[in-house]
């Protein structure tokens, strides 16, 4: 009886191993498909936001042409006495075309209640500034002025510390953007 039970156990293990490996392979494939879908969504939002800034901000095209790279982050900020937010984005090296997926987070005290969805678009003046942003991340300590606004406002921003910042909300391109207290860093799981 022990031999029969032992034989059945060995047979179950031998037959079960390929099934377990197949299930593991399917799980890895689903995980990779999910990552590819998330990256495609981030790229779509980024490309649309960049196109909107270049169309709506009269001097953005000249700033973009000088830039060595750009990044777009899709953010959601929620406020209920304490504000917090987060989002994902992509940084693009114009020379190589390579895309690095990133995340951002923000928090602080705020008066009010509500939620705001917006995109932050950044242009990087030098390759070094872009590389530092990607490799080391960045914490915005002060507010930044965005260029343009709606209805033909012709305000332009130059690079401040090597970065030009624009913000798009549901109402369109904003005349100013406050990204203070926001931290940007590498999104490891989307870059593996």
The pLDDT of residue 149 is above 50? no
Structure confidence at residue 100 (pLDDT): 97
Higher local confidence (pLDDT), 45 or 112: 45
Assess contact for 46 and 100: CB atoms under 8 A. no
Question: Any idea which of 9-13, 45-49, 109-113, 155-159 has the lowest mean pLDDT?
Answer: 9-13
Among 7, 36, 188, 8, residue whose Cα is nearest residue 101 = 188
Assess contact for 19 and 25: CB atoms under 8 A. no
Report how far residue 96's alpha carbon sits from residue 84's, in angstroms, rounded to the nearest whole number. Answer: 34
CA angle 85, 107, 136 (to 5 degrees): 85
pTM above 0.85, yes or no: no
* Both structure tokens of 189: 């799981």
Higher local confidence (pLDDT), 158 or 17: 158
């Amino acid at each position: 009886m022990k031999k029969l039970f032992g034989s059945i156990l060995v047979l179950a293990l031998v037959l079960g191993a390929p099934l377990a490996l197949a299930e593991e392979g399917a799980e890895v494939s689903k995980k990779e498909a999910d990552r590819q879908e998330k990256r495609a969504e981030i790229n779509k939002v980024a490309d649309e936001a960049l196109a909107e800034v270049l169309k709506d901000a009269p001097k953005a095209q000249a700033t973009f042409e000088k830039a060595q790279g750009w990044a777009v982050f899709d953010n959601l900020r929620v406020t209920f006495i304490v504000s917090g937010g987060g989002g994902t984005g992509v940084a693009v090296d114009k020379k190589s075309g390579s895309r690095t997926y990133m995340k951002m987070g923000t928090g602080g005290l705020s008066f009010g209640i509500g939620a705001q969805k917006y995109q932050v678009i950044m242009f990087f003046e030098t390759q070094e500034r872009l590389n530092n942003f990607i490799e080391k991340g960045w914490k915005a300590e002060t507010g930044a002025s965005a260029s343009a606004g709606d209805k033909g406002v012709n305000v332009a921003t130059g690079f401040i510390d090597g970065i030009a910042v624009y913000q798009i909300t549901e109402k369109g391109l904003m005349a100013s953007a406050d990204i203070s207290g926001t931290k940007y860093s590498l999104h490891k799981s989307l870059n593996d």
